[in-house]
Amino acid sequence: MFAYRIKPVFLFSLIVIFSLTQFPVNLSAEGNEAWESRDDRIEWWRDAKFGLFIHFGLYAIPAGEWNDKKVGWSEWLMNAAQIPVEEYETLLDQFNPVEFDADEWVNIAKSAGMKYLVVTTKHHDGFALFDSKVSDYDIKATPFNRDIISELAKACKKADIKFGLYYSILDWHHHDYLPRRDWESRSAEGADYEKYLEYMKGQLDELLENYDGVSILWFDGGWEGDWSQKRGVDLYRYLVEKNPDLIVNNRVGREEWMSKSALSVGPAGDFSTPELMLPAQGVDGYDWETCMTMNDSWGYNKDDHNWKLYPEMLEQLITIASTGGNFLLNVGPDAKGEIPEESIDRLSKIGEWLKVNGESIYGTKGVNLGSQEWGRATQRVLENGDTRLYLHVFNWPEDGKLVVENLKNDISNVFLLSDKDQKIGFTVFENSFPTLYLDSKAPDSVASVVVLDIKGRPLIANQIFHFLNSDSLELVLNETILDGKMVELLEVNEDIEKWSSPESSMRWNINFEKAGEYSISLVYSSHDWAAGEAFKVTLAGQVLEDRIKASPEVKAFDIGTVKIAEKGLYELELSPGITKPFTIPQPEKIIISKR
């Protein structure tokens, strides 16, 4: 068992811990200096859009298998194979990634068009990939004995790649960490969680003080035991005060990211971290980053050959950028310290695409044009206040005609990003959306970028929902107007806490092809605490009022009947009642059925 030598740093960190707890514990954002400085600190990250995630550690040696037991996520082997600490520690003597070359790793990221990287300094197994003075369970205890984090810091600086560090709050190795794994026989006798926190702060101090240019701290594993949002807010404020250029993810906290796709940010952390998922659409005004594997494991798994293909990954990058997020794409180097060829191949192809089309990704913002046959768009505001739209065309129209649904702006210029001299014709007829006339052959086999310069900021018509000759219409919630802003609602069945006033509303334009009586029902589940909240549906001048019914499972709730006297276009509005908070179930769908 390796000792954690708490030497003079103990005294220092104890004082710091003491002063740390002096911050007025404030779970809201106001008065949180770190949160108040966020916009300045995070600006480079918002423009960067694309980074490399690196999971590397002792787990690369067994590579997903232990005594014939195979696991999916190789970095979870110690827990999944229920390996006692003493047994897992035997890996230390085998850790010798002699092929590790920091410049090579960083250049792979750079050639992929990535602007930052995040590398595991300590994952859940507790092993530190750096020379830690507060621990003997670190790189010094291995035959390799070089400081990988130090070498990567230097390589990133040389290559002008921003340097980020992953750190796991959870620690399956440290004696003072609690809780123990439920399968463990190791006694928790004498374990002191506060001592573990001093140790963790000691390592975080080392990471910020001993390595040059740390730009991101990427926390993970704060989902159990006594870690809390309160501790997360305090740690976030401490770290940003210590390094005013630092940005920190929302996993420094606890509740915020637990639903994985949560987009709520702060005041613990600067950006949210949905994982292994793509949002149906993005949401303005949030900073979020999706992290993804290239196969199925974060750490190197010798048996994991389920590699995603390059086209899928490029579409993921574009989809994420078009919905306002960043993409952290993972590699798991093997025990020799080499990034798998399959990863390098895919990354270099993405890099080749970005060399030609990077302008449509870096420094852009998402834009919600509603669902489009052809693909996804990003936008950039031009100096004159007009907007440049980048249409990423995955499905190149065979007849060369590309309709930009919902776009109502005047168009000033259309051309191919890959050949700016190749102008593209377009027509916009009264009451119709722009049609672009493209060459028959797509310039790129995966995603071709058509640039559309429009007057002013995007004017996007509400989608019009049609019954399409059916007597029932399901308004599946993927786009609506909330508080006057086009909001993409990511997750159904989560209560909307975004209502900012009783005037808030969600609205849909519906084309009723037949007059008659229509029943309205909402399909939702809802938390107990929202039960009884009033809300109303307004349609054709008729108001149906109801109160939320607590329902853990998704159910259809009949709200009432509306009379449509004449066929035509009507607006359905869903709005909160007068009670506070203005919470309302975000319905999975609204069903309108002709009686």
Chain residues binding ligand FHN by CB under 6 A are: 73, 75-76, 220, 275, 291, 298
**Shortest distance, CB of residue 564 to ligand FHN, whole angstroms?**
48
**Shortest distance, CB of residue 295 to ligand FHN, whole angstroms?**
14
**Shortest distance, CB of residue 63 to ligand FHN, whole angstroms?**
15
3-state secondary structure of 299: coil
Cis peptide upstream of residue 267 (ω within 30 degrees of 0): yes
**Shortest distance, CB of residue 207 to ligand FHN, whole angstroms?**
17
**Shortest distance, CB of residue 220 to ligand FHN, whole angstroms?**
5
Residues in CB range of 451: below 8 A, 6 or more apart = 360, 388, 389, 390, 391, 413, 414, 415, 416, 417, 420
> Alpha-carbon distance 95 to 40, whole Å?
40
Q: Cα dist. 565→512, 539, 540, 570 in Å?
A: 10, 12, 9, 11
**Shortest distance, CB of residue 74 to ligand FHN, whole angstroms?**
9
Closer to ligand FHN by Cβ: residue 57 or 458: 57
**Shortest distance, CB of residue 494 to ligand FHN, whole angstroms?**
19
Residue nearest to ligand FHN (CB): 298
> Alpha-carbon distance 593 to 466, whole Å?
12
- Strand ranges (E), 15-144: 50-54, 65-66, 69-70, 116-122
Closer to ligand FHN by Cβ: residue 122 or 392: 122
Closer to ligand FHN by Cβ: residue 74 or 448: 74
Q: Look up residue 70 and give its amino acid.
A: K
Closer to ligand FHN by Cβ: residue 184 or 573: 184
Closer to ligand FHN by Cβ: residue 73 or 100: 73
With contact defined as beta carbons under 8 Å apart, do 464 and 569 qualify? yes
With contact defined as beta carbons under 8 Å apart, do 309 and 80 qualify? no
**Shortest distance, CB of residue 300 to ligand FHN, whole angstroms?**
13
> Alpha-carbon distance 239 to 201, whole Å?
10
Which structure tokens are listed for 193?
Answer: 């969680």
Closer to ligand FHN by Cβ: residue 229 or 478: 229
Count the Cβ atoms, other than its own, within 10 Å of residue 431.
Answer: 5
Half-sphere exposure of 244 (CA within 13 A, CB side): 4
Closer to ligand FHN by Cβ: residue 148 or 522: 148
Closer to ligand FHN by Cβ: residue 261 or 504: 261
